[in-house]
Copies of this chain bind each other. A is one copy, B any other.
Amino acid sequence: MTRNSPAGTPLGDSFHVYDTTLRDGAQREGISYSVGDKLAVARLLDGLGVGFIEGGWPGALPKDTEFFARAAAGELELRHAVLVAFGATRRAGTKASEDPQVRALLDAQAPVVTLVAKSDRRHIERALRTDVAENCAMVRDTVEFLVGEGRRVFVDAEHFFDGYAYDPDTALRVLQSAVDGGADVVVLCDTNGGQLPLPLAETVAEVIGRTGFRVGIHCQDDTACAVANTIAAVQAGASHAQCTANGYGERTGNADLFAVLGNLVTKLGMPVLPEGGLAELTRVSHALAEIANLAPDTHQAYVGTSAFAHKAGLHASAIKVDPELYNHIDPAAVGNDMRVLVTEMAGRASLELKGREFGLDLAGHPEALGSAVRKVKELEARGWSFESADASLELLLRREMHDGESEVDAPPFVLESYRVVLDHRPDGVVVSEATVKVHVDGERVIATAEGNGPVHALDAALRKALRPHLSWLDSVELADYKVRILTDHPGTDAVTRVLVESTDGEREWTTVGVHGNIVEASWLALCDALAHKAMRLREPASH
């Protein structure tokens, strides 16, 4: 059998970072991994340096069976991690060696098996419909059989905290059966997620004190305390932490792997990742969101794009001087960045700081800075908001600095006019059609296209007009589109603010448009999106 403990991590086998994104994380509503996805997730997690990767439940889920087969066939080479197969103990009244589910665990050929065992007497009696003695025999027999077959075995004690509170003797008997069978780690699971850190830490310490077993922790987030509970358990003596990427999981999810890693390394000083691993947190988190087809949580601890974003306001100048006074860690340590948001309170200091992010020396151009501050304030008074539209702000600052004279910042085309026609026809079908007249490369181009709605039609017509002239156009896609109606700008009717997020597969950028007419607001944001891409192509080195 191959290696069954982590390789190349400073703490080796003495502390387990155990990832269950591919099994428990996949319980999240909306996640449906293909086998290819699962292999990609495992490679990313291994690259980050986790110790164990639970790949799924072979025998119960066909996709998981296939995943293990392809991994065993050489499609998954792990540098740091060990692959784990998850499964249940033998059924009541059968032999472990003859249980097809247990055999499927062997067939998966993973060096480690994690078995789930019931440790709450109510679940044993009411859900499993057996008694404590038989439940314990099921655990011991199955572990023993798998260990006899050369596997390293961990046991997840399901509903442990509720079970321990209800009937501690039964809960401890189940742990004892696992260890008697040869299990290496017993994992205390807060399956229903109802725990809080202080009492949980007491229970963990008490169980370790009473048994001396090696204990792991597995927390669900139903009290919004999964990360805290995991850390508290480690502080209380647990040396194996089960997490999922971005906290994916059933209901409210599991303990977020990235927050747990950030806390273990930067707060508790535990070197649980290989050299360089911590700086990969942000990248890996976003890549895993991509594979799960879920938008990254912008406010996620350590790795969110807003995790180190400051609405500068009154503190802008202080943040500029002493960023370390305003961040709990250096964002670069986890591969993230500090951002300063430009808001109503924007002043010279925060715009100057922002310019520096874009590689623009506004401090050296005080007049341009003054004029940019006035312009931003005036636009914000009319409902514009640049705090999440960095690309529009960058264009504005560059144009102020270059006074509209630079080729680099010039828009890639000029609009003459557009017309959008929406028809709700008598048969109930709604049709949108747009025509644009633009000037590009010295030519006047007219194009018409249809779309699902007015903005889509306009975007389609513009692309049709520009495609022959801008070779890069089709690499730019709309990633997200947000609309907000602002009703309280006195003196005017409601205005509409549109935020457009674009992507070219490599980077994402956000632009803003504001107008009384939603279609014109969208148009302004779309134009900035293309202008920003054109600018980057002309001056690729600016970042």
Contacts and interface: CB of A to CB of B under 8 A. Distances in A.
Interface string A253-279: 100100100110001100000000000
Interface string A295-319: 0001111101011111101110010
A485 B482 contact: yes
Given A197-B198, A420-B422, A452-B516, A222 B328 contact: yes
A72 interface: no
B419 A301 contact: no
Nearest to A519: B422
Contacts of A327: 192
Contact of A304 (B127, B252, B268, B328): B252
A307 B252 contact: yes
A192 B6 CA distance: 34
Interface stretch (A138-146, A177-185, A487-495, A531-539): A487-495
A368 interface: no
Nearest to A62: B344
Interface string A157-179: 00100000000000000000000
B328 A192 contact: yes
A421 interface: yes
Given A222-B301, A309-B251, A488-B30, A517 B453 contact: yes
In the complex, which of the residues A322, A416, A494 has the most CB atoms of chain B within 10 Å of its own CB atom? A494
Interface stretch (A355-363, A402-410, A424-432): A424-432
Interface in A11-58: 27-30, 32, 34-36
A472 interface: no
Contacts of A302: 222, 224
A267 B161 CA distance: 14
Interface stretch (A75-83, A106-114, A147-155, A229-237): A229-237
A503 to B, nearest CB: 13
A250 B310 contact: yes
Interface in A417-454: 417-426, 430, 432, 452-454
Nearest to A123: B325
A541 interface: no
A430 B515 contact: yes
Nearest to A228: B228
Contact of A418 (B126, B232, B307, B424): B424
A415 to B, nearest CB: 7
In the complex, which of the residues A127, A259, A299, A416 has the most CB atoms of chain B within 10 Å of its own CB atom? A299
A370 to B, nearest CB: 22
11 contacts: A122-B322, A192-B326, A224-B300, A227-B228, A250-B310, A251-B307, A251-B309, A420-B420, A422-B520, A483-B483, A483-B496
Given A430-B520, A454-B519, 7 more contacts: A29-B311, A32-B385, A61-B344, A61-B345, A197-B228, A251-B308, A252-B306
Q: Top 9 nearest A-B pairs by Cβ distance?
A: A228-B228, A194-B328, A224-B259, A34-B488, A453-B517, A224-B301, A127-B318, A224-B227, A452-B516
